[in-house]
Amino acid sequence: MSYATLEVGREGHVGWLIFDRPDAGNAMDAVMLEELEVAWQELDADPEVRVIVNTGNGSAFQTGLDVVQLARNPDALREQSRRTKRAELKISAWHNEVTKPVIAAVNGVCAGGGLHFVADADIVIAASSATFLDPHVSIGQVSSFEVIALVRKSPMESVMRMAFSGSHERLSAQRAYQLGIISEVVEPDSLRDAAAELAEKISRNSPTAMAHTKRALWGALEMGLTDACRAGAAELVEMWGHPDQTEGPLAFTERREPQWAPMNT
Amino acid sequence: MGAYEHLIVQREGPVGWLINNRPDQLNAMNSAMRDEFADAWIELDNDPAVRVIVHTGEGRAFQTGVDVSEIAGDGVGMERYRESMENFDLHFTSWHQQVWKPVITAVNGICAGGGFHWVADADIVIAASDAQFFDPHVSVGQVVSIEAIGLLRKMPAEAVMRMAFVGRHERMSAERAYELGMISEIVDPPDQLRAHAQELAETIAKNSPAAMAATKRALWGALEMGLTDACRAGAAELVSMWGHPDQTEGPKSFAEKRDPNWLVE
């Protein structure tokens, strides 16, 4: 599949999903909204891909909906409004129920709807020049999904401050690191190398164990602690007897890379 | 109760100590140790002289999860734990055993995989400056679940997910754990860890045992539900203490500039 607004590639076991509307701050127009759904599903379905890196071309990571372009496309706007109303968005990995680990590599400004891709990633790293802001309330829009997910995952005060300061203040990559919103800050021109290196490490782990882990951890955000542990225990036990559980320790004692079973999707 | 093969259980003043004692196996938990944990938590919780519990390990590791050599050695594997895991009927942490006294985990070295159970389920966590944290489950084909679900409630989620997916290929330092709020204190030099934990525990032991138990029930209970329901349940814990003799003794001893004599039930 070829894409007009995204770059989708593979390198070894790493799938890359790159926003490619650099002249528009990688904002999502009608085409990108459609392509995102296809691209996430394509990478998730590809058995060669074990981990996905999401980043952007140009100086911005992602700046949310391209409202100017969408205003000229009433059908696309209507469809997007319908999905928003029903909380049926299909733009992030989480919306598309991607089963593989997803790393967001934030290469520059991440604004408003761009925060979906930070909130919905498993791991987030950023260039030292990256900034985070949520301008929704500065243009009369409500900030909702993105920040709801961020509230579950990060210290809340910082999320509320971002939601209420709108376009008038930016969170730096350094502060996002201190807060644990991201786990690594790198020099801007080594961001993709750092993401590739991290993805490479992750791709050495059991794909099936990671898929169960992902379901257990994201599922845990849906319920109380004891219920989440109970559901998590089911994910755990489901994997017992899987060939990876013999292969893992065996490879370790034989000092070689494990040969994981392909994932049953 | 009282005689343990794999644990050391002792008292020092108002502080009960539970010490992992399989240093040659990096304190990995075999099934005998798993059973001893269940008894040791209850023994310390039932002892009215114990007001605070400190949990640490002998040797260079704090805890490294399930004893893999036992799992690999006898053909039974993880199956021995199937029933208890399927029913989420576990008894090896203070949270599983509903210990309502404050529990301090003092991480003395490596904390890996299942070792996070006692980080997630403690009230307070401190660590030696050379402590290291990592979760190798997915690197050996195992799912990350219960421990990480507990951590997700208590600290920034991105860091937990990164540890879960990167497996044995990366370690988190005590310094980063401190920055993220996973632990509240780093003790340096490392050999001062136990002395410092004793000091912290004695400080906490100066507070009303009944008030601390109700506080612990309110705060851990809050992880089970939405905010308003948690406040409602918390209000019940609050009111349950009203009229308790500690609520007269506390202000009185303060005015008389002496240590309070708390009611011990």
- Is B73 part of any domain? yes
- Is B71 part of any domain? yes
- Is B214 part of any domain? yes
Give the C-alpha separation, B155 to A180, whole Å. Answer: 8
Cβ <8 Å between A210 and B138: yes
Superfamily of segment(s) A6-202: 2-enoyl-CoA Hydratase; Chain A, domain 1 (3.90.226.10)
Cβ <8 Å between A248 and B139: yes
Burial string for A53-92 (b: 16+ CB within 10 Å, else e) reads bbbbbeebbbbbbbeebbeeeeebbeebeeeeeeeebebb
Q: Does residue B25 have a pLDDT over 90?
A: yes
Q: Does residue A265 have a pLDDT over 70?
A: no
- pLDDT value at position A249? 87
Cβ <8 Å between B158 and A198: no
Give the C-alpha separation, B45 to B36, whole Å. Answer: 14
B141 plus B127 within the same structural domain? yes
How far from chain centre, in Å, is Cα B30? Answer: 18
Chain B neighbors of A232, CB-CB under 8 A: 145-146, 149
> What DSSP designation does B232 have?
H
Per residue in A171-187, pLDDT (tens digit) is 999 999 999 999 999 99
Q: Into how many domains does chain B fold?
A: 2
- pLDDT value at position A156? 95
- Cβ burial of B2 (10 Å; 0-12, 13-18, 19+) is exposed
ipTM: 0.93
Going from N- to C-terminal start, the domains of chain A cover 6-202, 207-253
Please report which confidence band the pLDDT of residue B73 belongs to, taking 50, 70 and 90 as the band edges: confident
B61 plus B130 within the same structural domain? yes
- pLDDT value at position B2? 64
Q: Does residue A212 have a pLDDT over 90?
A: yes
Q: A68-72, B204-208, B210-214: which has the minimum mean pLDDT? A: A68-72
Residue A117 tokens, joined: 């891709």
- pLDDT value at position A193? 98
Chain B closest CA to A91's CA: distance in Å? Answer: 20
- pLDDT value at position A218? 97
Per residue in A149-172, pLDDT (tens digit) is 999 999 999 999 999 999 999 999
> Which domain does B128 fall in, by range?
7-204
Chain B neighbors of A230, CB-CB under 8 A: 88
Chain B closest CA to A28's CA: distance in Å? Answer: 25
B112 plus B229 within the same structural domain? no
Chain A closest CA to B163's CA: distance in Å? Answer: 9
Please report which confidence band the pLDDT of residue B189 belongs to, taking 50, 70 and 90 as the band edges: very high
DSSP for A47-112 reads TT--EEEEEESSSEEE--B-HHHHHT-HHHHHHHHHHHHTT---SSTTTTT--S-EEEEE-SEEEG
| Mean pLDDT score of chain B | 96
B216 plus B148 within the same structural domain? no
Q: Does residue A57 have a pLDDT over 90?
A: yes
- pLDDT value at position B1? 52
Give the C-alpha separation, B124 to B203, whole Å. Answer: 13
B171 plus B139 within the same structural domain? yes
CB-nearest partner of A153 from B78, B137, B158: B158
B11 plus B126 within the same structural domain? yes
Per residue in B225-242, pLDDT (tens digit) is 999 999 999 999 999 999
The strand pair at A131-133 and A171-172 is best described as antiparallel
- pLDDT value at position A83? 87
B222 plus B155 within the same structural domain? no
- pLDDT value at position B97? 98
Q: How many CB atoms lie within 10 A of CB B88?
A: 18
Question: If you average pLDDT over residues B109-124, what whole number do you get?
Answer: 98
B182 plus B221 within the same structural domain? no
Q: Give the whole-number percent of chain B exceeding pLDDT 70.
A: 99
Q: A4-8, A86-90, B88-92: which has the minimum mean pLDDT? A: A86-90
B172 plus B242 within the same structural domain? no
Q: Which residue, of B178, B204, B230, is where some domain finishes?
A: B204
B74 plus B154 within the same structural domain? yes
Question: If you average pLDDT over residues A132-142, what whole number do you get?
Answer: 94
Task: List the alpha helices (DSSP H) in chain B.
Answer: 31-46, 68-73, 82-86, 117-120, 146-154, 157-166, 174-179, 193-204, 209-222, 227-240, 246-255
Please report which confidence band the pLDDT of residue B134 belongs to, taking 50, 70 and 90 as the band edges: very high
B174 plus B227 within the same structural domain? no
B72 plus B190 within the same structural domain? yes
For residue B147, give the CATH number of its domain.
Answer: 3.90.226.10
Per residue in B161-176, pLDDT (tens digit) is 999 999 999 999 999 9
Contact A159, A168 (CB under 8 A): no
Interface residues of B toward A, Cβ cutoff 8 Å, are: 68, 72, 77-79, 82, 85-86, 88, 137-146, 148-150, 152-153, 155-162, 164-167, 169-170, 179-181, 220, 223-225
